[in-house]
Structure 1
Amino acid sequence: MDWPFTNKKKWIGWSKILVALCVLGLLIHRISWIDLRNAVVNAQHGWITAALILLAPNLYCQFKRWQLIVRQFEAAISAKEVVRSLFAGITLGLITPGRIGDLGRTVFIPGADWLGLMGLMLIEKWYALLVVYFAGLWGLLPFLRATLRPELWVPVETTGLALVLAGIALALHPAFLNYVLKRFNSSGKHKRLHQVLNGVTKLTPRVSRSLLFYTVAQVTVYLMQFYLLIRAFTPLPLWSGLSAVAAVMWSKTLLPISLGDLGIRESASIYFLGKLQVSEAAAFDSALLLFAINVLLPAVAGFAVLMKSRVLQSPKDSMQELM
C-alpha cells in the first residue's frame, strides 16, 4: 500500500480534508458564541437586518471580480463553478492571516491554470489594498488633525495620497505594468514565477476598470454595513461614522496578523469609535456582528463546498479522487 502523501494528487486531496477539519475546529472553538448572541439580543434588529441585506451586493461584487479573473483563462466557466470556488476561498481565507488562504480558490476551478489565476488574483488584491488605503486616508484625516500639528499630518496625508493615486494610475494602465513584470523575469528561468506573471499579462484596460469598479463598490457596501451595525447599538452621524469605520478597515488591513482578522477589527473599532463617544461594548459588538455577517456566514457556506468536494462523497468516489 502506497503512503498517501507520496503522490501529489493524494497530497492535495488529504490537505483539503485537513483544511476543512481545521475550519470546523476554528468555527467551534475560536468564535465567542456567547458574545455574538448577546450582541444580537441587545441590538436594534432593523439595523442588523439592513446590514444583512447588504451582504448580497457585497458578495455579488466579489463574485463579479472573481468571474472576470477566471474568464480570462476559462471563458466557458459556469457561474456555479465560480460561486463554489469563491465560497471555498472565503473559507480557506478565514483560517489564514491576511486571508492569504483565499488564493486557494484557484484549486476549485477545474482545468484552469492555477498559477496564472493566482497572478491575476494578486493584482486584484493589490487593487483592493489601493481602495482600502484611499478610504483609510480619508478616514484617518479627522483623527490625525485632532492629534497632530499640521506640519506633521499634512505631509503624511499628502505622501499617502500621492502613493495611492500613483498606484491607481498604474492599475488602470496594465500595459506598463505588464512591461515592468516581463522585465523582472525576462530570463524566464523561474518557470513557476513565469506562469504567475503570465497570468498578469491577460489584464486588459477593460478588465482593470471593471475590477477597480467592483472593488470600490464592495468597499462602499462594507463601510455602509459597518455603519448600520453601529447604529444598531447607538446613534452616530453618517459622515463621521463612515470616516471612523474607514479608519478601522485601514487598520485591520494594515495588520493582517490574526486568523480572520479576529481581534484586530474589534480593537481598532473600540479605539476609533471611542473617539466619537461610542461605548466599547457597542464598538466591539458591531465589529463582531460584521465579522459574523461578512465572513462567518459565507465561510460556513464555503465549508459545505469543501466537505462536498472531498468528504461528502461515496467512499469509492473519494478514493478514486485521491488516487
Structure 2
Amino acid sequence: MPQPKPQNYARKPEEPASRRRFWVILGKLLITGLTLALLYHSVVADAATAAAWRQLLHTALAGAGRGPVLLALALVPVNWGLEAWKWWRLARHLEPVSFRRAFRAVLVGLTLGFVTPNRVGDYAGRIIELKSRRLDALGAVFLGRYCQLVATVVAGSLGLMYFLFRFYLPGYAATKLGVLVAVLLLNAAVLVPLYRSRLLLSLFTAVRPLRRFRRYLAVMPTYPARLLSAVLAGAGLRYAVFCLQFGLLLYAYGARPAVGPALAAIAGTLLLKSLVPSLNALADVGVRELSATHLFGLLGEPVLPVLSASLSLWVINIALPSAAGLLFVLRLRVFRKRQPTAP
C-alpha cells in the first residue's frame, strides 16, 4: 500500500524587500497621478468649479470680500487641526503618538480618501501611520467619523426641520409634532450607540452581512465616556468652523441671508451630503451644490453666489489639503521592520 506523501510545513520565504519596495513606489506614484488628475478635472477642467475658483481668487486679492475669503482660508488649518486632535485623542488610547504624527496621518488619509469610494482610503492613511494595533485602529477611525456624523445629524436634522416647518408644513400642527418627535428619536438613535457601543456591536452580531466587521469595532467599548465626550466636542467645534467658512464665503460672494435661516440651510446641506454615498470626493460636489442651491433658493438667494461659495468651500477644504497630503504620501513608510521575537 503506497505511503501518503509527507506534507511540507516549511515556511514560505518572505517577499524580497526590493520587490515590496517596487510595489510601494508604484502605488505611491499611482495615487499621486490619480489625485493630480482628479484635482485637475475638478478645479481646472470643470467649468463651474474653475469659474468659482477664479472668482474666489479675484475676490480674495482685489474684491470687497477679501477679508471674509482670507479668514475662510485661515480657518482651513484650524479645521483639519481639530480633526487631527480628534484622531490624536483616539489613537493614543491604542499607542503613544504625537500630535504631529496624528496631523500627518489625517492629511495622508484625506489624500487617499480623495480617490477612493466613500473615502475608505481615510482608514488606510491613518492606520499606516500607527506602529501597532492596526486592527484596533479601524474601530478608532470609525469612532472618530461616527462622532462627526453625530454632530452632522443633530445640527442637520434641526436645520431641515426649520425648512419643513416654514415652507412645507405651515398650518399642520399635528404633522409638525410628529416631525419633532421623529427628529428627537433620530438624534437619540445616533447618540446612544456612541456611549453604549456594545449595543452597536450586538447589532453587528445579529445582522449576518455585518458580522465580519464586528471584530474591527471590538475596541470601541474600551473608550471611556469622558474621552468620547471630548472627541464629540471636538467634532462639534470642527462642524462650527466648517459652517463659519461657508457663511464667510457666502458673504464674500454677495449672498446676504439672515443668520438663523442661513445656518439652517448650511446644516441641512451638510446632512444631505453626508447621507448620500459617493464614489470619490468629486461626487460630493454635485450633492452638496444641489442641496445648497435648493435650500438657499427657498430663502430667496440667487443661485450663482450660493453655487460659487459651495464650490469654493470644497476647493479650500478638500482639494488644497489633498494636494498638500501628497507630500506625506510620497514619504510614507508602508512596511515597518518587525521586532525580533524572543527565543
TM-score (norm 2): 0.79
Gap runs ≥5 in structure 2? 1-13, 44-48, 338-343
Q: CA deviation at 1:119?
A: 0.9
Q: CA deviation at 1:62?
A: 0.3
Matching residue's letter, 1:272: L
Map residues 1-323 of structure 1 onto 2, 5 A cutoff: 14-31=26-43, 32-42=49-59, 44-75=65-96, 77-145=97-165, 146-148=167-169, 149-171=172-194, 173=195, 176-178=196-198, 181=201, 193=213, 195-234=215-254, 235-260=256-281, 261-309=284-332
Corresponding pairs, count:
305
Q: Is the 8 A contact 1:17 1:310 kept in 2?
A: no
Matching residue's letter, 1:284: L
Question: What does residue 314 of structure 1 align with?
Answer: none
Q: Is the 8 A contact 1:258 1:264 kept in 2?
A: no
Distance change (3 Å), C-alpha of 1:231 and 1:128:
same
Q: Is the 8 A contact 1:91 1:300 kept in 2?
A: yes
Distance in 2, matches of 1:213 and 1:270, equals 29
Distance change (3 Å), C-alpha of 1:237 and 1:203:
same
Q: CA deviation at 1:137?
A: 1.3
Matching residue's letter, 2:81: Y
Q: CA deviation at 1:109?
A: 1.4
Q: Is the 8 A contact 2:272 2:291 kept in 1?
A: yes
In the TM superposition, structure 1's runs of 4+ consecutive aligned residues that sit over 6 Å from their partners are: 7-10
Q: Is the 8 A contact 1:248 1:268 kept in 2?
A: yes
Q: CA deviation at 1:170?
A: 3.3
Matching residue's letter, 1:162: L
Distance change (3 Å), C-alpha of 1:9 and 1:68:
farther
Matching residue's letter, 2:29: I
Identity of aligned residues (%): 25
Distance in 2, matches of 1:110 and 1:138, equals 37
Distance in 2, matches of 1:34 and 1:163, equals 39
Give the structure, 1 or 2, with the largest relative contact order (CA under 8 Å, sep 6 or more). 1
Q: CA deviation at 1:247?
A: 0.9
Q: Is the 8 A contact 2:52 2:312 kept in 1?
A: no
TM-score (norm 1): 0.83
CA RMSD of aligned residues (A): 3.2
Q: Is the 8 A contact 1:274 1:280 kept in 2?
A: yes
Q: CA deviation at 1:111?
A: 1.7
Distance in 2, matches of 1:113 and 1:191, equals 20
Q: CA deviation at 1:278?
A: 1.5
Q: Which has the larger radius of gyration?
A: 2
Q: Deviations over 1:79-123 (max 9, x none)?
A: 222111110111112223432321122343142322211112112
Gap runs ≥5 in structure 1? 312-317
Distance in 2, matches of 1:109 and 1:96, equals 18
Q: Is the 8 A contact 1:120 1:203 kept in 2?
A: no
Distance change (3 Å), C-alpha of 1:286 and 1:184:
closer
Q: Is the 8 A contact 1:90 1:299 kept in 2?
A: yes
